[in-house]
Chains A and B, each alone.
Chain A
């Protein structure tokens, strides 16, 4: 993943390139709920101590282990 290779320390997975922070296939409420979950994950990531590039999945409560890019 590009951001990991570029050494971004906290990376939150978005939905798709065309709509990173939401999902237009859902209703307006569903879309907004997805955005809220992603943004909340980002805020959680800011408060999480990391040792290397780390992915935060909006669907998972815990951060994944940092990936070593060789």
Chain B
């Protein structure tokens, strides 16, 4: 194949060199050539491919303005006509992961193969895994070069029209889709070999790896709100000014518990958000209740639309929270609520 493969690289506002959280609302833009990490992608491609364009979009913009983004992406893909698209790597940035995943879906819809990369707990992968060729990464951008190489080599394969083998072999994350294959040995032979290995306590790999996604049963509705106590939780990182309990801005391991007994208003003098995943300027300079709507809940209480509000609210930072930590926090909070007779909870998530 004499033709060099044309590649487009999708980046968010941070990796695209525009700025941090305060620029998360920047609109979708397509620039000719390689910008920022796209240059590292070009290095990884060598002379087998050329980065013809870098697509950049703010993380908030992509997920909030789908009506604007979708046509803009389609037009840009038409204009630059890549043979494959690279989106990310996103590591554990959740909104970036979602945007990249959706970018890949849009590319595939236009008949263009796409490769992305993120931490396996990134909601971009967990939500869209069936549609993605996603290289796994850790949480730190220090592995940028090595994951870009993997993405480049998978992308080149796809651009050449090659079908990818199983995830474990090719180095991408399982899609959850099972394809039938022909094996050399019949099933009964393989089963006996597996059993023999088990008995001898030797390693053996199951042919069916079941990925469990927890099914959460839906709780029944509340009959009469005026008869219940409502518990409040926020993952918006709301803490008393000065952050006395030293809540971290990301990868939180614990929830904090603060009294709201007799509290009606939340003032920026008394409260702040330490969430490191988005710009907290509105919460910290204008209204902390954006992540805990206590004043309105008090009004509704006065108007007789709600019974009691539990006198403590729980606060954590929902920014790259490992799922195990989130589960533990949820369990602890639910336990206290249950023991206190709280029948329903409001979680403000960011």
Contacts and interface: CB of A to CB of B under 8 A. Distances in A.
Contacts, number: 101
Q: What does DSSP make chain A's interface, helix, strand, loop or mixed?
A: loop
A6 to B, nearest CB: 8
B290 A21 contact: yes
A43 B306 contact: yes
B348 A35 contact: no
B350 interface: yes
A22 B127 contact: no
Contacts of B193: none
Interface residues of A, number: 35
Interface string B331-348: 000000000000010111
B293 interface: yes
B280 A18 contact: yes
Interface of A: 1-3, 5-9, 14, 16-22, 24, 31-32, 35-36, 38-40, 42-43, 46-52, 69-70
Contacts of B48: none
Interface stretch (B83-91, B158-166, B217-225): B217-225
B216 interface: yes
Given A7-B214, A36-B296, A47-B221, A22 B94 contact: no
Interface stretch (B110-118, B202-210, B245-253, B281-289): B281-289
Given A5-B123, A5-B127, A39-B296, A18 B348 contact: no
B291 A47 contact: no
Given A3-B349, A35-B295, 9 more contacts: A2-B94, A5-B126, A7-B215, A16-B64, A19-B283, A19-B290, A20-B290, A46-B221, A46-B225
Given A35-B293, A43-B305, A47-B223, A19 B282 contact: yes
B138 to A, nearest CB: 20
